[in-house]
Chains A and B, each alone.
Chain A
Amino acid sequence: MTAKKGISLALLVAGVAALWLVPSMGVSDSLLNLLILMFIYTMLASSWNILGGYTGQVNLGHAAFFGLGTLVARILYTGGRPLFLALLAACVVPVAFSMLIGIPAFRLRLRGDYFTIGTLALSQILYITIGNVLPKITYLPIADIQNYQLGPRYHIILASALFTIGVAYALVKSRLGLGMVAVRENEDAAESLGINAFAHKLLALAVSAFLGGLTGGAYAYYQTSYYFNYTFSPPWSLEPVTMTFIGGVGTIHGPVIGAVFFVLLKEWLVMKVGEYHLIIFGVLFLLVVLFLPGGLVEAWERIRRVFTHRPAGKIVLSPSAEGSDLSGNSLASERKEVPMI
């Protein structure tokens, strides 16, 4: 291990430890709630990024996985099942659902805009159906509400976020991850090299659904009351896309940065301009896609380039620091190098 790597690892451990200890520092509930939101959005964006960012299958129906996770976890948990079992089921059920849509979609080679619109439609169908079938509000059990403790929830959600980032990292560092990127860049070319595009896309979908479901499970454990169909609503599909693009699509740290940025900016803007924050985010998203397709990660690279005076030709961009459009097509006219992260 190089000294540089050692320092990075030490910083990571220190950062995680600091985050873990936050509840015991006597901070306000307001701050804990803010951090929890960051973790949830990080999970949401990271799980979306596996299918949309690394595999190039832009899913505008991620709320379906998130919503199913909340639904299953909430029903099991309020029904008296152990939290671990509820969270596990929250992960498994969306995977099963993803296979129902993924196998026919990928078998039929549903790509690009067709896949995107299909996923959007599916999540909307679920949103309306759940609203009609389960119209009543869901509460945490009364004992949980009356003895509500933010600290344990914070730790469970932080652990879930770390697990999500860890799974994403392990996946993209593996051969499977390389295969997913190859499929994203050119599916036909990848297949001609012996990569099973169908299997890779299906795997990415399953992992994305699994982690999206886990996010939903964590949310269901955190929220005291909400309507079942709320977690299937369009913002839960669109916000992970926005966050990932703002942070840096197709990178591990992009969704994390995007989520932190998104939550802080959203909290601030909601206070300042109310619902107009949606317009601001829409404009920001367009600007990022047009002028900074690698998101904040690319912005950081550019800033670093200015200060280190490194020639542009030697800048190494991460797989999709160049970004991709909503159909998964690369936006970069010239590719430099494609390491995994």
Chain B
Amino acid sequence: MRTGKAVVVITVLLIGALVVSCGPQTATPTQAPPTVAPTKAPPTAAPTQAPPAPEYIEFGASIPLTGKYGALGAMVKPGYEIAVADINAQGGVYVAEYGKKIPIRLTIYDDESDPTKAVSKLESLYAEQKVVVYLGGAASDMHAATAAVAEKNKVPYLGIAFALYSIHQQGYRYLFSPFPKSPAQARDVFEILNASIPKGERPTKVAIFQETTDWGIELGNLWKENAPKYGYEVVVYETYAPRAEDMSAMILKAKEAGAETLLTVPSPPDGITMVKQMAELGWTPKFTLMIRAPENVAWGETMGKNGDYVTIFPGWHYAVNFPGVDELNAKYQAQFGRPADLLTGPAYACVQIAAAGIEKAGTLDRDAIRDAIAAIQMMTVVGPVNFNTDGTGNVLNPLVQWQNGKQELVWPPEHATAPLAYPAVPFDQR
């Protein structure tokens, strides 16, 4: 009676699986242990009345450290780690409920630039590490996937390196992003051009190369919608799939149409392909806004002179004049030999905000932390931050330009390290 035996085997296996799974599960994520042993809390609360405090406040992040967004994730990770180290160096975050400072323990997973893996990592962080705050990775399509997990698990989520606005229109309550969003990027590019370049010299013929991703579609449409309002004409609107190897057709179309401005949001590999092919085909837009790909610090080295004149909305620059930036730059310089990278500052700010939220809430209850973050108004390394009801942050949107192999801050003028270099010198004359 083989069926009966099969049934026994299946039942035993399933029950065995259940029992095995009930046991303690180990995780070996990259962890940033506290750099300094926790110090004694200020004696503001009677120790006998406070409940036993946890050893750590658990923060969890899933970051693309490898894969197509690896270069972006590599800028985000040190921001989180340095901020956690700085806070722990002060003894941690004061939590009134326990009457003491508690250090943060940050657990970081590499999601390999795969949104599905990022979702899975966040689930693990919730289930295994019992995190009270999620720190996001990088790139809009990654955040688009993970923000829903935060909402499901009711864990406050602070994410940067994504400008996708539509996530914030889903009605999520736990998502916060101290980072410029698509509507600002779609508006600011034209306002900056009009403010920086005299009428008659402006690059009014626009080519938009729209990546077929959530954010690519969103920003492409917003640019198209905004252009006429500021006196610009979209002469070419082309779409391409991520990881496209041949972009020559759309480049030639833009060249033939006499496009003077290029607006696009390629991933780092696609951005390199795009500019290389533009140089080969001899099309140099007078002005290029290429968000995301040139944020990588290796852009200048990889592209050489072809990488110059390209501008970015990275959300931050090491030259901005806000409290804490110099200290962050010094620590980054000591570790990496250069001032902090573009996404490092916003990442640092996320931890500042989360810590302030916990301190304000006075508890490690996730809902209370969420409410505290929603109401926060504070100064960070990205400047003053507060949040709208949809979780978008009211933050500065600086414009950075590659000039002579360096990322120069060209807007706003009060923070700028160099004026906007315009028009771009043709590729073959650099």
Task: Evaluate contact between A19 and B9: CB separation under 8 angstroms.
Answer: no
B18 with A31: CB separation less than 8 A: yes
Tell me, in angstroms, the Cα distance from A9 to B3 when the chains sit together: 10
* A interface secondary structure, majority: helix
Is A252 part of the binding interface, using a Cβ–Cβ cutoff of 8 Å? yes
Partner of B173, one of A137, A146, A252: A146
Q: Mark B1-36, 1 if CB is under 8 A from A, else 0.
A: 111111111110111011011100111100000000
Q: Is the CB of B241 within 8 A of A131?
A: yes
A2 touches B1 (CB 8 A): yes
Given contacts A31-B21, A136-B214, A227-B145, contact A11 B116 (CB under 8 A): no
Where chain B touches its partner, the secondary structure class is helix
Given contacts A135-B216, A135-B217, 15 further A-B contacts (CB under 8 A): A11-B7, A28-B127, A35-B18, A38-B17, A131-B241, A135-B213, A137-B145, A224-B119, A224-B148, A225-B119, A225-B144, A251-B6, A253-B6, A253-B9, A271-B27
Q: Which residues of B are interface residues toward A (Cβ below 8 A)?
A: 1-11, 13-15, 17-18, 20-22, 25-28, 110, 112, 115-116, 119, 123-124, 126-128, 141, 144-149, 151-152, 170-173, 212-214, 216-217, 241
A260 touches B9 (CB 8 A): no
B28 (CB) vs chain A CBs: closest residue: A271
| A113-157 Cβ-contact flags toward B at 8 Å (1 or 0) | 000000000000000000110011101101001101000000000
A224 touching B152 in the complex, CB below 8 Å, given contacts A35-B18, A137-B145, A230-B116: yes
CA distance A1 to B266 in the complex (A): 67
Q: What residues of chain A have their CB less than 8 Å away from a CB belonging to chain B? A: 2, 4-5, 7-9, 11-12, 14-15, 18-19, 22, 27-31, 33-35, 38, 131-132, 135-137, 139-140, 142, 145-146, 148, 223-227, 230, 251-253, 256-257, 260-261, 263-264, 271-272, 274-275, 300, 316, 318, 339, 341
Sample (8) of A-B pairs whose CB atoms are under 8 Å apart: A8-B7, A12-B11, A19-B18, A132-B241, A145-B151, A225-B119, A271-B28, A318-B2
Contact status B20-A264, CB under 8 Å = yes
Contact of A225 among B21, B149, B216 (CB under 8 A): B149
- Which of chain B's residues have a CB closer than 8 A to the CB of A140? 148
User: In the complex, which residues of chain B have a beta carbon less than 8 angstroms from the beta carbon of A34?
Assistant: 17, 21
Cβ contacts under 8 Å, B127 to chain A: 28-30, 33
Known: A137-B141, A264-B20, A271-B28. A15 touches B14 (CB 8 A): yes
B3 touches A341 (CB 8 A): yes
Q: In the bound complex, do residue A272 and residue B28 qualify as a contact, i.e. CB atoms below 8 Å apart?
A: yes
Q: How far is the CA of A9 from the CA of B1 in the complex (A)?
A: 12
- A142-B171 contact, Cβ under 8 Å, with A5-B4, A8-B5: yes
Q: For residue B216, which residue of chain A has the nearest CB?
A: A135
A224 touches B3 (CB 8 A): no
Residues of A within 8 A of B151 (CB): 142, 145-146, 224
Residue numbers in B under 8 Å from A260 (CB-CB): 13-14, 17
Q: Which of A29, A35, A252 contacts B6 (CB 8 A)?
A: A252
Partner of B2 from the list A14, A19, A339 (CB cut-off 8 Å) is A339
**B22 touches which one: A31, A252, A264, A272 (CB < 8 A)?**
A31
Partner of B214, one of A18, A28, A135, A148: A135
Are A9 and B9 closer than 8 Å at their CB atoms? no
Residues of A within 8 A of B116 (CB): 226-227, 230
- What chain A residues lie within 8 Å of B171 (beta carbons)? 142, 146
Shortest A246–chain B CB gap in Å is: 13
Q: Please give the distance in Å from A305's CB to the nearest CB on chain B.
A: 13
CB neighbours of A18 from chain B (8 A): 15, 18
- Given known A140-B148, A146-B151, A226-B115, contact A14–B11 (CB-CB < 8 A): yes
How many Å lie between the Cα of A227 and that of B7 in the bound state? 37
Return B21 CB to nearest CB of chain A, in Å: 5
Contacts of A341 in B (CB 8 A): 2-3, 6
In the complex formed, the residue of A with least CB distance to B146 is A225
Contact of B152 among A19, A38, A148 (CB under 8 A): A148
Tell me, rounded to whole Å, the shortest Cβ–Cβ distance linking A96 to chain B: 27
